[in-house]
């Protein structure tokens, strides 16, 4: 396709500038008046905006597919989330694209698996996906974790990179930062296998339980970040309230607001580390 | 919401989410704000799901719910400059509700048209949409001025629009 010469229709440029976020105020007024002039113009706007969103989805999906094809699963290394531009964050759009048959097939497999799982049991919904960062990618198909997706009890998430915000039925909001693995085990309970997790717990939901290989973390009315780099080490930063670490072996440790510890399960030893408020996780990197 | 209803909702949501995201982003251009509205829409849909008439398209019903979330969000931020007034928001919602039936053919046509995009046109799309670069950065990567990069992307999208319309027209004629 090579018809890339000639000047675009001025109206198309208004649409493009609008969806690219660079439309000036004066041109914005012109576009607004033009849209109000006729329902047919609004129909055209709808198609333009839909095209734009689909391009984000298709191109993003193509990139993920290309990455997956280029790298054998065993060699895939997690990538850290770097700073992203505003425009980049728009790539969060998702779709089932006819152009990406593999992705669609993966979605069907996921949905099929969900239905199969439901046939044998119907676990209660314990959380909902409330947000995803632009660079979020999963070991599983991403479509199962679109914003708004409900998470049944026992649902495991392997976040390869990026961040996921989930709201538990209790009202607790947790941000997971990849690479991380977590299982939603109950309405106010999680199992963290590895990775970083930030929790913001409203008063009525106090008592969030995070299970880890080396013990549990219980919130006592708080906001905290839990970093689990290995099965035997964790770091906890407490921004509000108090957290109790309950090692599988050893005595419980209470961590107060404005403090942070590192815990070594092999030697059952906790150590004060610098408190860093900037470690508080939010959806934005 | 019991397990069966939650499962049904999830399947409907997965299918409708791209259209809802496009609708919300078309009216709330700032990305983070749009995502917040989309989250509110998801919550509202769960709460109102018992009111959904399953004989009607889910996406069209969901857009109706999303419209109110958009309007409410805009009122919360009354001091912000909104390009579109409430009347236009209504019209865009109505148009999106009608467009729901065309979404699948549109996507199919776009998929086919994308297969024909190659060379520098493909590169420009990758940089803009996959890498998320702004016009200046796209221009830098392609050794173009920002204005030339913007023009190139405008033209690529124009080519796609024309191709999609042709394919949809052919499909309509074949169906007659």
Nearest 5°: phi and psi at A43? -60, -40
Spell out the SS3 assignment of chain A. CCCCCCCCCHHHHHHHHHHCCCCCHHHHHHHHHHHHHCHHHHHHHHHHHHHHHHHHHHHHHHHHHHHHHHCCHHHCCCCCCCCCCHHHHHHHCCCCCCCCHHHHHHHHHHHHHHHHHHHHCCCCEEEEEEEECCCCEECCCHHHHCCCCEEECCEEEEEEECEEEEEECCCCEEEEEEEEEEEEEECCEEEEEEEEEEEECCHHHCCCEEEECCEEEEECCCEEEEEEEECCEEEEEEEECEEEEEECCCCCEEEECCEEEEEECCCCEEEECCCCHHHCCCCCC
The CATH number of residue A261's host domain is: 2.60.120.1440
The per-residue pLDDT for A69 is: 53
CA distances (Å), origin A244, targets A76, A241, A248, A254, A270: 35, 10, 13, 4, 12
The pLDDT of residue A72 is above 60: no
Q: Is residue A5 part of a domain?
A: no
Q: A60 vs chain B: nearest CA distance in angstroms? A: 5
Of the listed ranges A95-99, A276-280, B144-148, the one predicted with least confidence:
A95-99
The pLDDT of residue A42 is above 60: yes
The pLDDT of residue A53 is above 80: yes
Which domains, and CATH codes, for chain B?
3-101 (1.10.1740), 116-175 (1.10.10)
CA distances (Å), origin A259, targets A62, A224, A272, B167: 44, 10, 8, 62
B106 touches chain A (CB under 8 A): yes
Please check whether residues A96 and A167 belong to one and the same domain. Answer: yes
Q: Is residue A152 part of a domain?
A: yes
Burial of B81 (0-12, 13-18, 19+ CB in 10 A): exposed
Q: Is residue A285 part of a domain?
A: no
Q: Is residue A204 part of a domain?
A: yes
Please check whether residues A222 and A180 belong to one and the same domain. Answer: yes
Best mutation target among A15, A25, A46 (most B Cβ atoms within 10 Å) is A46
Distance CA A160, CA A133 (A): 12
Please check whether residues A235 and A168 belong to one and the same domain. Answer: yes
If we measure between CA atoms, which residue out of A186, A57, A70 comes closest to residue A125?
A186
For chain B, the distance separating the N- and C-terminal CA atoms, rounded to the nearest angstrom, is 43
Query: Which residues between 113 and 142 in chain A have a beta carbon less than 8 angstroms from any beta carbon of chain B?
Result: 114-115, 118, 121-125, 128, 130-131, 134
Please check whether residues A58 and A120 belong to one and the same domain. Answer: no
The per-residue pLDDT for A78 is: 36
The per-residue pLDDT for B150 is: 86
Q: Is residue A255 part of a domain?
A: yes
Residue A255 CB neighbour total at 10 angstroms: 24
Tokens 């993966």 sit on residue: A106
Please check whether residues A174 and A59 belong to one and the same domain. Answer: no
Contact A99, B115 (CB under 8 A): yes
Please check whether residues A16 and A38 belong to one and the same domain. Answer: yes
B175 touches chain A (CB under 8 A): no
This complex has an ipTM of: 0.90
| DSSP assignment of B62-126 | HHHHHHHHHHHHHHHTTTS--SS-HHHHHHHHHHHHHHGGGHHHHHHHHHHHHHT--HHHHHHHI
The pLDDT of residue B63 is above 60: yes
DSSP secondary structure letter of residue B143: T
B70 touches chain A (CB under 8 A): no
Contact A248, A265 (CB under 8 A): yes
Q: Is residue A1 part of a domain?
A: no
A116-158 pLDDT tens trace: 444 444 567 788 888 888 788 888 776 678 888 888 888 899 9
The pLDDT of residue A115 is above 70: no
Q: Cβ A147–B42 below 8 Å, yes or no?
A: yes
* pLDDT band per the 50, 70, 90 thresholds, residue A60: confident
A214-263 pLDDT tens trace: 899 988 867 899 999 998 999 999 998 889 899 988 888 889 889 999 99
Please check whether residues A96 and A57 belong to one and the same domain. Answer: no
The pLDDT of residue A79 is above 60: no
Query: Which residues between 184 and 243 in chain A have a beta carbon less than 8 angstroms from any beta carbon of chain B?
Result: none
The per-residue pLDDT for A195 is: 93
Total domains present in chain A? 2
Please check whether residues A41 and A119 belong to one and the same domain. Answer: no
The pLDDT of residue B88 is above 80: yes
If we measure between CA atoms, which residue out of A162, A164, A134, A130 comes closest to residue A147?
A130
A14-36 pLDDT tens trace: 777 787 777 888 888 888 888 88
Compare all CA atoms of chain A with the CA of B18 and give the residue at the minimum distance. A95
Compare all CA atoms of chain A with the CA of B10 and give the residue at the minimum distance. A149
Q: Is residue A79 part of a domain?
A: no
Please check whether residues A151 and A27 belong to one and the same domain. Answer: no
Range of the domain at A134: 86-279
The token pair at A3 is 């018809």
Q: Is residue A80 part of a domain?
A: no
Residue A105 CB neighbour total at 10 angstroms: 12
The per-residue pLDDT for A7 is: 57
Please check whether residues A131 and A44 belong to one and the same domain. Answer: no
Please check whether residues A155 and A202 belong to one and the same domain. Answer: yes
The per-residue pLDDT for A1 is: 46
Please check whether residues A168 and A219 belong to one and the same domain. Answer: yes
């Amino acid at each position: 396709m090579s018809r890339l010469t000639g000047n675009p229709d001025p109206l198309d440029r208004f649409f493009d500038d609008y969806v690219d976020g660079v439309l000036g105020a004066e041109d914005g007024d012109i576009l607004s008046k033009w849209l109000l002039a006729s329902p047919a113009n609004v129909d055209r706007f709808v198609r333009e905006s839909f095209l734009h969103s689909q391009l984000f989805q298709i191109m993003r999906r193509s990139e993920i597919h290309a990455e997956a094809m280029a790298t054998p699963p065993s060699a895939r290394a997690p990538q850290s989330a770097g700073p992203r531009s505003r425009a980049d964050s728009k790539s969060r759009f998702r779709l089932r694209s006819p152009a990406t048959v593999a992705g669609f097939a993966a979605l069907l497999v996921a949905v099929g698996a969900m239905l199969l799982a439901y046939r044998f049991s119907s676990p209660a919904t314990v959380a909902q996906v409330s947000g995803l960062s632009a660079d979020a990618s999963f070991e599983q198909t991403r479509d199962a974790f679109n914003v708004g997706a409900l998470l049944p009890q026992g649902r495991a998430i392997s976040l390869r990179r990026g961040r996921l915000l989930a709201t538990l039925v209790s009202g607790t909001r947790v941000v997971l930062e990849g690479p991380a693995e977590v299982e939603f085990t109950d309405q106010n309970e999680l199992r963290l296998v590895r990775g970083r997790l930030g929790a913001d717990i409203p008063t009525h939901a106090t008592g969030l339980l995070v299970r880890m290989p080396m013990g549990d973390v219980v919130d006592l009315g708080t906001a905290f970040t839990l970093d689990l780099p290995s099965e035997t080490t964790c770091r906890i930063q407490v921004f509000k309230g108090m957290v109790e670490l309950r090692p599988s072996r050893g005595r419980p440790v209470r961590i107060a607001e404005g403090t942070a510890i590192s815990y070594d399960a092999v030697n059952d030893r906790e150590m004060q580390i610098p408190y860093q408020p900037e470690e508080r996780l939010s959806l934005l990197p | 919401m019991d397990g069966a209803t939650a499962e049904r909702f999830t399947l409907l949501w997965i299918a409708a989410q791209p259209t809802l995201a496009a609708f919300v982003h078309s009216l709330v251009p700032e990305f983070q704000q749009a995502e917040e509205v989309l989250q509110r829409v998801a919550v509202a849909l769960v709460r109102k799901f018992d009111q959904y008439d399953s004989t009607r398209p889910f996406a069209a019903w969901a857009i109706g719910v999303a419209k109110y979330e958009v309007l409410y969000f805009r009122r919360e931020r009354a001091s912000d400059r909104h390009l579109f007034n409430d009347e236009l928001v209504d019209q865009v919602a109505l148009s999106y509700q009608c467009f729901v039936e065309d979404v699948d053919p549109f996507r199919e046509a776009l998929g086919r048209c994308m297969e024909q995009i190659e060379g520098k046109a493909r590169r420009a799309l990758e940089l803009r949409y996959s890498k998320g670069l702004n016009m200046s950065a796209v221009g830098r990567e392609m050794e173009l001025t920002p204005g030339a990069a913007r023009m190139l992307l405008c033209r690529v999208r124009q080519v796609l629009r024309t191709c999609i319309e042709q394919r949809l027209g052919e499909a309509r004629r074949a169906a007659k």
